[in-house]
């Protein structure tokens, strides 16, 4: 899931308004950022664990603790941790990932069926943007741009699924 992670962050904004959008986006893709860090510094030996159940729980706890220190509200910390967990949960729909290091590999692997992945991502975008649109702190001019943002997200996902001969 690519744009879907961001869509989940947008939807979470409805309930986690005090958190900066950058923080929500960070939490929603933290396992991928951790994955990149593991690739850049192999000595850390974290690459194989970033998308496992244990890795996601560990990352969620760290992100929640950081949020608790930075934002000083338990609900915001819990929400941040849940965003991290959501990443891996939905990745089990789009990918095939190990449950733990050297453990069984599970998942629907919708990436192998690009149209099915696109439909799932489009649904996530529609739901996330719709929920975000109901956020009481969203100003009227920003609401006007939501359709454009959703269309851009859909276009980016379409390019990933169908464009440029990438598969």
pLDDT (tens digit per residue) in 103-137? 999 999 999 999 999 999 999 999 999 999 988 87
Domain contains 32: yes
Domain contains 167: no
Tokens of 57: 């729980």
How far is it, in rounded angstroms, from Cα 93 to Cα 113? Answer: 11
How far is it, in rounded angstroms, from Cα 147 to Cα 157? Answer: 15
8 Å CB contact between 1 and 107 = no
Domain contains 124: yes
Q: Report the 10 Å Cβ neighbour count for 116.
A: 16
Q: How confident is the model at residue 143 (pLDDT cuts 50, 70, 90)?
A: confident
List CB contacts of 119: < 8 A, sequence separation 6 or more.
none
pLDDT (tens digit per residue) in 2-59? 899 999 999 999 999 999 999 999 999 999 998 888 888 888 777 778 899 999 999 9
pLDDT (tens digit per residue) in 156-165? 999 999 986 5
pLDDT (tens digit per residue) in 46-103? 777 889 999 999 999 999 999 999 999 999 999 999 999 999 999 999 999 999 988 9
Look at the chain and report how many structural domains it folds into.
1
Overall average pLDDT of the 145-161 stretch: 93
Domain contains 24: yes
Range of the domain at 81: 3-162
End-to-end CA distance of the chain: 15
Global pTM reads: 0.87
Answer positive or negative: Cα dihedral of 102, 93, 117, 45.
negative
Query: Residue 167: what pLDDT?
Result: 47
């Amino acid at each position: 899931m690519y744009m879907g992670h961001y869509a989940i962050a947008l939807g979470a904004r409805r309930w986690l308004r005090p958190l900066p959008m950058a923080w929500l986006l960070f939490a929603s893709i933290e396992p991928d950022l951790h994955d990149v860090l593991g690739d850049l510094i192999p000595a850390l030996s974290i690459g194989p664990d970033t998308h496992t159940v244990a890795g996601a729980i560990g990352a969620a706890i760290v992100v929640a603790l950081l949020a608790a220190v930075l934002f000083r509200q338990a609900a915001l910390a819990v929400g941040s941790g849940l965003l991290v967990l959501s990443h891996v949960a939905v990745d089990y729909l789009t990918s095939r990932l190990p449950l733990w290091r050297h453990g069984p590999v599970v998942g629907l692997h919708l990436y192998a069926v690009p149209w099915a992945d696109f439909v799932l991502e489009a649904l996530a975008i529609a739901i996330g943007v719709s929920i975000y649109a109901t956020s009481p702190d969203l100003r009227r001019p920003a609401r006007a741009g939501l359709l454009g943002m959703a269309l851009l997200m859909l276009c980016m996902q379409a390019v990933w699924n169908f464009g440029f001969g990438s598969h």
